[in-house]
Amino acid sequence: MLLEKILQSQGFGSRKQCQSLIQRGLVKVNGEICDQLKTQFQPQDLEFQVGEYRCRYREHVYIALNKPQGYECSHQAQFHFSVFQLFPEYLRERGLQTVGRLDQDTTGLILLSDDGRFIQASTHPKKHVDKEYWLKTADPMTESQIQQLQQGVELRNEKGIFQASSIQQMNDYELRMTIHQGVYHQVKRMLAAVGNKVTELHRHRVGELELPTDLAQGEWIYLTAEQVQLAISRRES
């Protein structure tokens, strides 16, 4: 494949823009400057550098982000920062999207990809991918409230019953709760339905993929093929 086409597929601009990058000597392949337009490479696992960015060719990208507070999962954030501001332009240009959403004040694990099929499969209601949240409440949790969450509650303007797949009470004010549905503000609305309020919310796990302990807020990593499969796997109860 022509080098300019490889660069274009990886988000580095139009074909003309990629040609310009090559001609200006801004592209290195295997550590050597490549300024010839007609040069071809086998794209699979190709390592290259464009300016300051060191890259490896990826047909699709699968990313885990430790989302900080104050960031919206939208390209056109209205009242806060956008999570896409945490990524270099070339990733944004290749159509990066979040897999589902987290509220601006919710922290933790969120997945992103440019693979439309993966995003659709991961978010389809029938997939029932578990999501584990760690949360703090305004008032002490009672045994009755825990039971209601386990048995299921109704949410205004939603059909059906919404229940926690599992609940672990850490202390009077802290829970670890797993859900497999994914309606708008679900965890917060479930706690409100039993007469309490979420004051802090953090997503720790999607499917079998846990947030890496060494991934600081605002940082992200590329997922391996194994990690991608973990993210769409349902934990056996």
Domain range list for the chain: 3-56, 62-121+217-230, 130-206
Average pLDDT, the chain: 94
What is the rounded CA–CA span in Å between residue 6 and residue 59? 10
- Specify the range with the lowest mean pLDDT, choosing from 74-78, 80-84, 163-167: 74-78
**What percent of the chain is predicted at pLDDT more than 70?**
97
pLDDT of residue 167: 96
Banded pLDDT at 234 (limits 50, 70, 90): confident
**Is the pLDDT at 51 greater than 90, yes or no?**
yes
Domains 62-121+217-230 and 130-206 share a fold: yes
Banded pLDDT at 236 (limits 50, 70, 90): low
**Is the pLDDT at 91 greater than 90, yes or no?**
yes
CATH annotation of 62-121+217-230: 3.30.70.580
100 closest CA partner among 110, 91, 109 = 110
Q: Give catalytic residues, as residue numbers.
A: 103
The CATH H-level (homologous superfamily) assignment of domain 3-56 is RNA-binding S4 domain (3.10.290.10)
**What percent of the chain is predicted at pLDDT more than 90?**
85
What is the rounded CA–CA span in Å between residue 131 and residue 15? 40
**Is the pLDDT at 126 greater than 80, yes or no?**
no
pLDDT of residue 90: 96
**What confidence tens digit (pLDDT) does each residue in 176-205 have?**
999 988 788 999 999 999 999 999 999 999
C-alpha to C-alpha distances, 140 to 71, 110, 145, 174, 226, nearest whole angstrom = 28, 28, 10, 8, 39
- Mean pLDDT over residues 223-231, rounded? 95
Q: Is the alpha carbon torsion for 50, 54, 57, 62 positive or negative?
A: negative
Give me the residues paired with residue 33 across strands: 28
* Multiple choice CATH, 130-206, 3.30.70.1560, 3.40.50.720, 3.20.20.70, 3.30.1360.30: 3.30.70.1560
- Mean pLDDT over residues 30-34, rounded? 93
pLDDT of residue 237: 53
**Is the pLDDT at 210 greater than 70, yes or no?**
yes
With residue 33 as reference, give the H or E element that holds it.
strand 32-33
